[in-house]
Chains A and B, each alone.
Chain A
Amino acid sequence: MYNMGAYYEATSVAHAISLLQRHSGPTTKIVAGGSDVLIQMREGKLAGYTLVSIQRLDELRGVYMDDDETLRILPVTSFSHITKHPLIKEYINVLGYAVDQIGSPQIRNIGTIGGNICNGVTSADSASTLLAYDAVVEITGPAGVRRLPITDFYIKAGVVALMPDEVLTAILIPKESYENTHGHYIKYAMRNAMDIATLGCSLNVRLSPDKRAVERVRVGYGVAGPVPMRAKNAEEAGNGRPASMDTVNRAAKAALLDVNPRDSWRASKALRLHLAEELCRRAFTMAITRAGGSL
């Protein structure tokens, strides 16, 4: 039995925004899949909250290619649909793989990629990949549409740059970002399913045409700080360098300058730091291999 104050079903994005305006307040929340919101409601954290549901908005579901070849991922797309979508498979397969690490098949059928990032948690399995691909979020509010780099979307733990009457309406991956890249994501958790990441590392590379050099490497981490982050030092240690184990090891070491994990009862800082280096090493190795490089 859920202690739900009220539940409103939006019939369009515009309707959702007007519902949010009409019922605006500190105890109003958007719900899509419900795999986070309903749990918090059961725990009593959101007891009595008003929910505005965007669950049935088909206009917010799906993955498309814009005319300028920007990949447009709509937020109410479930994780399992992301994983299986042909555009995802072709252009950003690592994202499909990353969200396939979430929870269980049931959760992946109900949970949405938009909810995953709007939650603002550092452990979100999609977030490190989206950061590593310089994703841009598209937000719609009463005043219209605005765009924000995903790094600016994350403000602090649990808080994203969404106004009370705004809705996330798309996640965009520019062509320049995904073109000719190969990535790998490693979710490190205490068991092989139904878990949250102790640390997550998503890395993608673009090799030179001869596959000998790393033209560009981008590294995203989850649970390495209060919000998902990019590892700029690791990237600098890899960019323009030969595609070699030496480069991989340098980048992995450099990642330690970027990450700032917590010491908590869920895992010690020492273990997370050790893993930050090791996961970077393994993800980088795998990405280079996938890109056709040899180490």
Chain B
Amino acid sequence: MQIDARGMTCPKPVVLTLEALPKLGAEEFLEVLVNDEVAVGNLTRLAEEKNCELLVVEKGGYTSMTLVPRTASAPAAPAAPEPEAIEVQVVPATGDAVVAVGSDVMGRGSEELGKILVKGLIYALAHQETVPKTMLFFNSGARLTCEGSESLDDIRELEGRGTQILTCGTCLDFYGIRDRLGVGGVTNLYAIAEIIASEPVVTSI
């Protein structure tokens, strides 16, 4: 679910978020777009109070804040030194971004939570105004582009919007899932190295 709260003044973004949170289904999350520091500060507090994991992505001129409710089955990640919001700096809105996905979980801690987070992030990426130019999937990240992946539809949407989707062939073979590849092309480490070396913005997840 997405709320575009850009241009709204306090307390409107919080009010809309409070109304939307109870309507989320299991494993659903809520993305709120805001464009002032008051809304960012307020939603950060709200996420904490409502026991949500928070993904903050700075965009050109606005901020995407994704609230992922922590369910009983997916408790908060074990105490990291700083239990603050996970910050993911992704895409300057240029369309030049390369996103490298080296795992099917995001961050360290609970694997269950890490899977929810990676799914949330790919969903969010697929719903940006500007999508990445290229997304590279390697190691266990290769599972995300294969049948059975909960992110498959979102990655197909990214591809449909022009993102080049490339998965590491060695990795597909290692996990024995090459025949289940559901989206994009297969590449090798040489091609991945070339992309990483030649592109100005590469973000690793």
Q: Tell whether A pairs with B.
A: no
Which chain A residues have a beta carbon within 8 Å of chain B's beta carbons?
A: none
